Each structure stands twice: as C-alpha cells, then as structure tokens.
Chains A and B, each alone.
Chain A
Amino acid sequence: MRLRTLQIILWTAAILGTAIFAWARWPAGNQAATETVSAFEPSFALADSEGKLRTNAEFRGKFLLVFFGFTNCPDVCPTTLAEVAQVMDNLGPETDKVLPIFISVDPERDRRLGMSAYTEAFHPAILGLAGTEAETRAAAESFKIFYGRENDGKSPDGYTMSHSSGLFLVGPDGAWLRQFAYGTPAADILSDLKSRF
C-alpha cells in the first residue's frame, strides 16, 4: 500500500513536471520564432546610389526598417515598399526616428537600372543600397536571411531572384528586434513602431 502511494506520488510528480516543462517551453519557443531571438547585431557596408559606402554604424539612434529585394520584381518588392512608404507617411512628426533601407540582392543590375529612381518612386526617405556581390552576401548573412539567383530563360536577362520577403526591424542600439512577415499591413507595422518610441 505504501509502495502504491509512493508510485502515485512519483507518477503525479512526473506528469506535473512534464506539463510544467511543456508550458514553460512552448510559449518561449513561439516567442523566439516571431519576436526576439537572442540579441544579435546585423551589419552591412554597402554603397548608396551615389557610390558612397554606408554602414550600419552610422545609423545608431534610429530604428531601421530593412528590406532585401531587387528592382526587377513586379509584385513582392513594390507591395512591401508601398507599405513602408505608407508607414513613413503615417509616422508624421516621428518620421525621423525611422530609416527605411532597401538592400539590393541583385546589385549589379540594380545599379545599372538606377537605385534612387526606384526607391524615390515609393518614398524619398527610403535609402537604397547596392554593394558588391561579396558585400551583399555578407549583409544577408548578418541578417540571417536567404537570397538566390534562379536561371529562367523567360525572365529579363535570363534570370530572376528569390529572396527572404520579410521586413526587418533593427533598434537604435543596432540590435535586431523582429521581422514583419510579407503582407503585414502598414497599420500593424506603424503601431509596433510607435509602441517602441
């Protein structure tokens, strides 16, 4: 009888322990996927449309909204940049707290087509950067994102790009804060930003 009681106590403890462990782990796991991964500082050193090298270090003090894309893209990139433009308009007096940055994953062609004409068509505040292949690869790795070139005979110049479609938020201290998935409405991005000011 005493053994049986002990068994029940032990089993109860084991089940409780498992439940507490699962309860403690699960929300944390979800949080990590969408919100804060252990802090890291993405970095980049890429040329702007005038050929001047710009680095993450010079933008300390501002929130950065960073998007990777290419200007030959008719659907995903314009949709996201239009949302970013809307966010910038709606920030009103707080617009100078945020710098939107568009990093080309197709830098050679984008430099030829002209980065500034592209970004300015959406919003004059957007900074367009197009570095060398190696600089671009390094920037993508530091943001932990993917891009790749896909040969496609029916695309302009015979290729197209696939790339991470999220919009990344970097804090004024340079630390990565979160990503907004493709299609996040401008209003949601705006309210997230305002909650951090």
Chain B
Amino acid sequence: MKHLILTTALVLSAPAAFACETVTVGDLTIQHAWSKASIGVDRPAVFYVEITNSGSSDDALVGISTPAAGMPMLHETVVTDGIASMPHAMSVPVPAGQTVQLAPGGYHGMLMGLTAALKEGDRFPVTLTFEKAGAVTANVDVLPLRSEGPDCADAGQ
C-alpha cells in the first residue's frame, strides 16, 4: 500500500518536474514556466511563468521567443467593467525586490503560429529577454487544458 501511494505520488508529480525547475539570470529567478495543451495548431497557445527580482534595480521582460511558435507575444488580460480585452504588452515590469507572475487573468505570453500542437506532457524552451538582465531560456511544461498551474511543493500560489 505504501508503495502504491509512493508510486502514485511520483507519477502525479513527474509531469510538473520541469515547471518546478528554477533558472536564473543576474538577479532574476525564473520558475513555474508552464503552458496548456493547445486545441490543434491553428489557435494560439499560452505561456505562464513566475519571475522574482531579488536585486535592487527594476527590470522588465521585453520579449519572448520559442521554436514552438512563429509569433510569440506578451499580452495582458484587462477586465474593465466586466469587459475583457487582451491588449499587447510592450513589456512586463519586474520591479526590484518583487515577484511578478504571468498567470491566468493577467499578463501572459500568447504563442501564435504554433509549429505543432502542444500536447500534455510536452516540453519546449522559451527564451525570455529582459531589458537589463539579458536573455535566459526556461523549459516549459505543457499541462492539461484544464490545469490551473504546476503543482510544485514550493509554489507560492
């Protein structure tokens, strides 16, 4: 029985392993990089991530690129008086000493022009470019369409 529980726990936690990885560049820590399974190849996929700036100067995420999509862009979901719109975001501020989330209902990467449909369990790299810290590549886990985020032991969400 103990073995069964342990195995189940391992199997359940395995898909979230990459999203729970941490990469750093300068004073920035990037973790919880995840996406959702896409519906075919013609509709855009999404990219979410968490960025912590432990330094003393502000930075900003100014772009993303990935071999998984021809046209990845930063967007922000804005709900005003019950109306949702998703304007293009020129950059996502990452203020000194703060953690910024690209998460459902807020900032997110919109991955247009997918090279292949994203399937649950897939992994792909996304390179994040910051105004000051430069570029860093994170591995993104494709979670189920209905997922609300990676299940990491240290996930502060």
Q: Give the B-binding residues of A (Cβ under 8 A).
A: 71-76, 78-79, 82, 85-86, 113-114, 117-118, 121-122, 146, 150, 152, 154-156, 160, 162-166, 179, 181-183
Do B84 and A76 touch (CB < 8 A)?
A: yes
* B88 contacts A182, C-beta separation under 8 Å: no
Residues on A with C-beta less than 8 A from B79 are 76, 165, 182
Inter-chain residue pair count (beta carbon < 8 A): 85
Contact check: which of A118, A152, A183 meets B39 at CB < 8 Å? Answer: A118
Taking CB atoms, residues of chain B closer than 8 Å to A86 are 146
Q: Which of A74, A82, A121, A166 contacts B45 (CB 8 A)?
A: A74
Chain B residues near A (Cβ < 8 Å): 36-37, 39-40, 42-46, 71, 73, 75, 77, 79, 82-88, 104-105, 108, 110-112, 145-148
Q: Please tell me if the beta carbons of B105 and A182 are within 8 angstroms of each other in the complex.
A: yes
Contact for A165 among B37, B44, B84, CB less than 8 A: B84
For residue A154, which residues in chain B have a CB less than 8 angstroms away from its CB? 71, 73, 88
Complex alpha-carbon distance, A130 and B61, angstroms: 37
- Of all chain B residues, the one with the shortest Cβ separation from A120 is B39
Q: Which of B77, B88, B145 meets A82, CB within 8 Å? A: B145
Contacts of B85 in A (CB 8 A): 150, 160, 162
Q: Please measure, in the bound complex, the distance between the C-alpha atom of A117 and the C-alpha atom of B41, giving whole angstroms.
A: 12
Known: A82-B145, A82-B146, A122-B146. A76 touches B86 (CB 8 A): yes
